[in-house]
Amino acid sequence: MKISVIKEKILKIEIDKIIVFYNFSTKCENISKCDILIDPYTFRYKNTDDNIFLIDSPGEYEIKDLFIKGKNITGQSKNENDSPTTFLLKYDQVKLLICDKIKDTKTTMENLKNFASEVDVVVVIIGEKNFLSPSQGQTLSRAFSPSVIIPVSIDNSKNHLKAFVSAAGGKEENQKVLKLKKKNLIPGESKVILLQ
């Protein structure tokens, strides 16, 4: 599994020969060259290729050996399809959790733990207003005792990322592409990786 960020707007996950894009930006255009697009806020996405499998709502999806589960864990809306969705991707025994547009509340944490009790990698989207603050994102990420934590700033703020790293104890690794194999992941290590 390889993870990178494209144009500071898209999380790219390469799994064997499957390319998954996770659109975490509110301003994203012309997504192409992927097999699966996870975009829980499709009203902001205009150019969908007919060959791209679009995931825009909660549910369970299986594509080849990749399992994707999306769930509204926030309780922010009565209509599940209108709410932010958290996604869990499983492939070759590696579990990756993407936490987007959630708030640090006791109910949310309990729901997250019920949804994904053991994960190897946590991607947490941080920012202002409806997103976790850097310190909230750090607290939420560490609750899973993952091997790797990847913070992503919704508004590309270097200050948010610096604050996240500071809350993590000031240690991080900068990488363009993160390569993961289950045998190399150390549970509880909680290594912070900043994708460039």
Q: pLDDT tens for residues 71-93? A: 887 655 545 444 567 899 999 89
Higher pLDDT among residues 74 and 166, named by residue: 166
Residues 119/89, Cβ–Cβ less than 8 Å: no
Whether 152 is covered by a domain: the verdict is: yes
Which segment of 62-66, 105-109, 189-193 scores lowest on mean pLDDT?
Answer: 105-109
Distance, CA of 1 to CA of 3 (rounded, Å): 7
What was the pLDDT predicted at 42?
60
pLDDT of 38 strictly over 50:
yes
Give burial (CB, 10 Å; 0-12/13-18/19+) of 186: exposed
Mean pLDDT of 143-157: 86
Top-ranked range on mean pLDDT: pick from 36-45, 67-76, 134-143:
134-143
Whether 167 is covered by a domain: the verdict is: yes
Whether 40 is covered by a domain: the verdict is: no
pLDDT of 191 strictly over 80:
yes
The CATH number linked to 112 is 3.60.15.10
What was the pLDDT predicted at 10?
85
Domain with 80 in it: 58-195
Mean pLDDT of 125-139: 83
Full-model pTM: 0.88
What was the pLDDT predicted at 81?
44
What was the pLDDT predicted at 196?
81
Whether 17 is covered by a domain: the verdict is: no
Residues 119/144, Cβ–Cβ less than 8 Å: yes
- DSSP secondary structure letter of residue 41: T
Mean pLDDT of 147-160: 84
What was the pLDDT predicted at 115?
87
Residue 55, CA distances (Å) to 22, 41, 65, 69, 189 in order: 9, 10, 16, 10, 31
Tokens matching residue 131 = 């997103």
What was the pLDDT predicted at 41?
67
Mean pLDDT of 122-139: 84
Instruction: Domain count for the chain, please give it.
Output: 1
DSSP-assigned states of every residue in 115-153: H-SS-SEEEEEE-STTSB-HHHHHHHHHTT--SEEEEEE
Whether 128 is covered by a domain: the verdict is: yes
Whether 95 is covered by a domain: the verdict is: yes
Give burial (CB, 10 Å; 0-12/13-18/19+) of 36: buried
What Rg do the C-alpha atoms of the chain give, in angstroms? Answer: 15
Distance, CA of 65 to CA of 15 (rounded, Å): 9
Q: Which run of H or of E encompasses 165?
A: helix 158-167
